[in-house]
Structure 1
């Protein structure tokens, strides 16, 4: 998420749309896909040339400055950290932009209230007609998975309570993803049985290529930040990622 959200819509109980009997994230009912990007963060100490690390102030509702020092790779885990004491948080993005495909991540979000741990696609200038985005965002301290997409600066959010599906996102690493085509987007979570469960599906018009991004940050406790991501008390935390995959 790169711009303050408007009104959030909470789905206390989501009826699964589709259970996919596969460990491969589907792109569509008929599409055949090939993996075009994969990173399991086995390189020691650095992300490698496929990624960029952010180092700037993003502004409201963000309450922190993205810092290269809060991005680390160790033991096949990418860790994005934040701290109220340091005023720092973390964000990475792919150098390359992507248009359409299946995007999946294995991650464990930070369980700290008032924070966001994310996996999203983004392009454009926030708050303008150039702003396009597809989001998976975890609201720390809750079981809420915030799904959202932005079309020409207009957002369409839906919050999903994962506890209604028997899922605790903070217990361990788990796979999440979305499939994006020229006509629609679908969001998924992998069940304990190793099958993709579809959480949401929407029809959308064609959208431009976007960079794949991940960040962990906290709000500034001002105005709408008190609703999203909620009040932040200053506790340090981190989100962990152990693989990212893109198929087209």
Structure 2
């Protein structure tokens, strides 16, 4: 019953996005409400490696947990560990909706993004939603052949508190555009950013992670200074429409 209610809510959100002229797709091709018993299953892959600067932690399966319809990605300065998952399947274009609450810890990132390739090379393509912990800043970005196009959004200007509870966020990826949305307290999607581009045209895996910076060089500015506090990013569901 809980799973049905969650799916109904996300379908309503997708329909609302489409009705607001966002060209959102409502034909479901993937959905996970994290309600099943056991592990994440074959639809997901769990990362287990060191990502390097500016990451200050090692991705560990021990920091990925699922309970009562909630996926938790944890991190801790004392353990040196953090968490990341990705879909086994790659996707090209569609509506990508997540229900989540980022970790409210400075110097950390809680994310929802699409990715492929090797960072900093011509094979690197990416579309990002990244919450800068302890702030109201949502870092949006897209990468084309290793070149980034970032824009920080202050969610407070829309009356949105990302730490006040679970909330829907969306990436709308089309052959000719990319748009980022957040669901307001008034029950409406707020368009945060839109770019007209067809340059991101390769299949990418959908990913989520929670990590902290190494406090070296520019990591002090992104994601900011990290004091070692433990935290967790929570994910209630992931939905993809075509």
TM (norm. structure 2) is 0.91
Please give the per-residue CA displacement for 1:130-182, whole angstroms capped at 9, x wherever unaligned.
Answer: 10000000000100011100011110001011111111100100000110011
User: Is 2:167 aligned against 1:177?
Assistant: no
- Please state how far the C-alpha of 1:26 moved relative to its aligned partner: 3.5
- Please state how far the C-alpha of 1:43 moved relative to its aligned partner: 1.3
1:157 is aligned to 150
1:239 is aligned to 233
* 2:226 partner SS: coil
User: 1:107 and 1:77, CA in 2 relative to 1: closer, same or farther beyond 3 A?
Assistant: same
User: Is 2:94 aligned against 1:89?
Assistant: no
1:56 to 49, 61, 82: 49
User: 1:79 and 1:34, CA in 2 relative to 1: closer, same or farther beyond 3 A?
Assistant: same
1:113 is aligned to 106
Alignment check: 8 A CA contact 2:25 2:95 kept: no
User: Is 2:13 aligned against 1:23?
Assistant: yes
2:29 is aligned to 36
Alignment check: 8 A CA contact 2:24 2:94 kept: no
User: Is 2:214 aligned against 1:223?
Assistant: no
Alignment check: 8 A CA contact 1:107 1:173 kept: yes
Gaps of 5+ in 1: 1-21
1:214 to 208, 211, 232: 208
Please give the per-residue CA displacement for 1:56-103, whole angstroms capped at 9, x wherever unaligned.
Answer: 000000000000000000010000000000000000000000000000
Whole-Å separation in 1 of the counterparts to 2:190 and 2:23: 18
Whole-Å separation in 1 of the counterparts to 2:24 and 2:70: 31
Number of aligned positions between the proteins? 227
* 2:13 partner SS: coil
Gaps of 5+ in 2: 1-11
User: 1:31 and 1:55, CA in 2 relative to 1: closer, same or farther beyond 3 A?
Assistant: closer
TM (norm. structure 1) is 0.89
- Please state how far the C-alpha of 1:195 moved relative to its aligned partner: 1.6
Whole-Å separation in 2 of the counterparts to 1:32 and 1:211: 18
